[in-house]
Structure 1
Amino acid sequence: MILPGNTLGMLGGGQLGRMFTVAARTLGYRVLVLDPDTGSPAGRMADEHLHAAYGDAWALEQMATRCAVVTTEFENIPADTLRTLAGFIPVRPGAEALERTQDRAREKAMIQSCGLDTAPFRVVTALDEVESAFAAVGGPAILKRAALGYDGKGQIGVDSAQAARDAFDQLGQVPCVLERRLDLEREISVVLARSAEGETLCYPVAENIHRHGILHMSIVPARIPGEMAEAARRAATHLADALDYCGVMAVEFFITTAGELRVNEIAPRPHNSGHYTLDACVTSQFEQQVRAVCGLPFGDTRLLSPVVMVNLLGDLWAGGEPRWAELLDHPGAKLHLYGKSEARPGRKMGHFCVLDDDPEKAIADAETLFAALEPGS
């Protein structure tokens, strides 16, 4: 076990790294963050922030000699960076797990190899492959960049072969995945922790509502049958085992109108839909990440109260500072802001949670509070 007093390395300085840093420092660890952004949210909370590229030799030497273990806060850290560090200290999760989830084509092939269903898809690497891919998948469909796409970025809806060709050209003719758009009943996610020894513990299933491809609201517990929730937990655990994962990860699922459970994608890190754990679970996903990478026993994932989590995007700041008074006046509301210096449309600036014994009241209160935040409302 890596005990308090040691230094933990964090690759990435965004809000997920920030919340990990707070959890680690609360437990008595020191945190060294590597991120090229001099104002990164995690770097501002850490004991030390290395302002350097992820492949910078000097920065990696610092992490290798000063940290007891290194972890990550987003999936697009270069695999070579992880392999370099793994020659000196434990890196959790490892390079192979991130490599298999950094690319949608590799990820979907791995999911299917585990016997789990995805939406029908085809890989597209050249313009002359688009028409046959659309014929195989059918429409309507979504063309997604195989790499570097998130929060609705790098994906375009298409309803014909010509539209798919135009979209492929618009995305720069980089490798893509063409995926059938399914008729959905709802979307859910499972956040779990897995130890280096293979012990796995799941959090309660979240029901997710998106706006413009970005998560807007998570409702916990998800409003789905118990057997569906259990099937999602089993599938997520199976995928974590297949990746030989160590740390906290999430699996997003579609539930179709026909009642089918389909895997959407894997997030090899703590997840936006798991932010509710900060306020509504015995152990947050960020403390659990610390425990997993340090080899500590897992904390209890029990849900203490029904909860609704709502994202706060930079759009809210377009007319000035959001109106916080009503939110802060609500006894069951918990506000979390990420310390980002610039609010931009679509940028995640924070979130809030509403806890209530009555799940439907939590949903209604969350919607009312969100509507009241906009300046001028």
Structure 2
Amino acid sequence: MSAILPGATIGILGGGQLGRMTAMAARSLGYRIQVMDPDPSCPARFVVDACFEGSWDDARAAADLARGCDVITLEIEQIAVTSLQAAAKYAPVRPGVAMMEIIQDRILQKNWLVDHDFPVGEFRNIHTEADLQTAIVALGGRCFVKSARGGYDGRSQVKIGFDETASSAETLAHDAWNLLGHRPAIAEKALDLEKEISVMVARSPNGELKSYPSAANHHEHQILAWSVIPSSVPISLEEKAQEIARRIAVEMSLEGLLAVEMFLTRNGELFVNELAPRPHNSYHASERACTTSQFEQIVRAVCDLPLGDVSIVKPAAIANLLGELWLGHEPRFDLALSVPGVRLHLYEKHMPRAGRKMGHLSAVGESPEEAIERVLQAKELL
């Protein structure tokens, strides 16, 4: 395969913050960028050459985007298969359609992992309310139920059995099934977690593969609150996490980036949680921590350039800035930026709302702990 060299045009399906930051990295390398997004004023709009308005299932808009591009990638996994197929008629789509079909459906994804001998926590496939009732009992009464399709940052997900008021499995199943809109889902047994980590893997069409040191992730209300690279897990667990992530990338014939989210339990077990075939919130810190950021790496990977060095230069952490920060007052960015080693990253989203990611802070430190301390100190000053 021949490399797609700078000067060519990259198309991105999705123009959110991930598309925006990918476009900025691609511009630094000398590429032209076009995106497709349902919102004509999406965050990437202000840093790209052209923005095509189209919903994720708008195959015509995806084809229009691809006609003027040398390669297509994506920043969100909800792109309809028909749109991916339409784009593929005009330019290579990386990651490919076969991989996306599996990852888009949590039932297919989880069963693929089991079929390929990857470690996952106990779960049940849910197609009916009766399935869910049976699963709640089988999983010990405490579980997370996630819609098979769509949903992220806690959306289209229900926690079952975590409150103090006792309810029957029948009542819990009925309420959760209604909340999820009577849609197929996965029920996952609640685990006794020590830590949540992720590993980002890059793989080129020519088969070159590199994986970043793992990141440690802290969630609040099922949304990532902060993340740090490196994760500081024991070497044996780091090696196991790296092996799992790299093997998934090879088995799926990845072309692009793949974030492998994992659970580390208190008894030392490591389970794959979910796969994200795109840049990932937990690797925003790679812009500060690593020789090559995830955003430059996806450009290198989909254009079949040599992959960049993923070595850690200095530990770095990020803290997400959600829309509620803007509700009622103007954030004091000047105070946050007074903390040594802190940078501000805003996405140019015009309408803040609770739970919406508007930007993030990043910080470096001499240790992961110092990076976390600095970024959380800066966030408090906002």
Shift of 1:352: 1.2
Task: Please tell me whether the aligned partners of residues 80 and 95 of structure 1 are also in contact (alpha carbons under 8 angstroms).
Answer: no
Q: Deviations for 1:97-142, whole angstroms, at most 9, x for unmatched residues?
A: 1111111111111111221121211111112222222232222111
CA distance in 1, matches of 2:368, 2:61: 47
What residue is the counterpart of 1:102 in the other structure? 104
Task: Please tell me whether the aligned partners of residues 289 and 312 of structure 2 are also in contact (alpha carbons under 8 angstroms).
Answer: yes
CA distance in 1, matches of 2:301, 2:36: 20
Shift of 1:82: 1.0
Q: Which runs of 5+ in 1 are unaligned?
A: none
Paired residue secondary structure (1:237): helix
Q: Deviations for 1:266-287, whole angstroms, at most 9, x for unmatched residues?
A: 0111100000011221111011
Paired residues in the alignment total: 373
Q: Deviations for 1:58-86, whole angstroms, at most 9, x for unmatched residues?
A: 53343232100000000000011111221
> Does the alignment pair 1:321 with 2:330?
yes
Out of 5, 8, 11, the residue aligned to residue 7 of structure 2 is 5
Could you tell me the percent identity over the aligned residues? 45
Q: Give me the TM-score of the superposition, normalised by structure 1.
A: 0.96
Task: Please tell me whether the aligned partners of residues 33 and 50 of structure 1 are also in contact (alpha carbons under 8 angstroms).
Answer: yes
Q: Which stretch has the larger CA shift, 67-76 or 151-160?
A: 151-160
CA RMSD of aligned residues (A): 1.3
Out of 215, 238, 244, the residue aligned to residue 229 of structure 1 is 238
> Does the alignment pair 1:28 with 2:30?
yes
> Does the alignment pair 1:190 with 2:192?
no
Q: Which runs of 5+ in 2 are unaligned?
A: 162-167
CA distance in 1, matches of 2:329, 2:218: 26
Q: Give me the TM-score of the superposition, normalised by structure 2.
A: 0.95
Counterpart AA for 1:330: V
Paired residue secondary structure (1:273): helix
Out of 268, 273, 281, the residue aligned to residue 259 of structure 1 is 268
Task: Please tell me whether the aligned partners of residues 60 and 86 of structure 2 are also in contact (alpha carbons under 8 angstroms).
Answer: no
Out of 340, 349, 374, the residue aligned to residue 340 of structure 1 is 349
Distance 1:55 1:176, change over 3 A: closer
Counterpart AA for 1:370: K
What residue is the counterpart of 2:128 in the other structure? 126
Distance 1:312 1:30, change over 3 A: same
CA distance in 1, matches of 2:61, 2:133: 46
Out of 111, 114, 130, the residue aligned to residue 112 of structure 1 is 114
Paired residue secondary structure (1:295): coil
What residue is the counterpart of 1:330 in the other structure? 339
Out of 156, 170, 174, the residue aligned to residue 154 of structure 1 is 156
What residue is the counterpart of 1:92 in the other structure? 94
Alignment of 1:43-122 (within 5 A): 43-56=45-58, 58-122=60-124
Counterpart AA for 1:43: R
Counterpart AA for 1:41: P
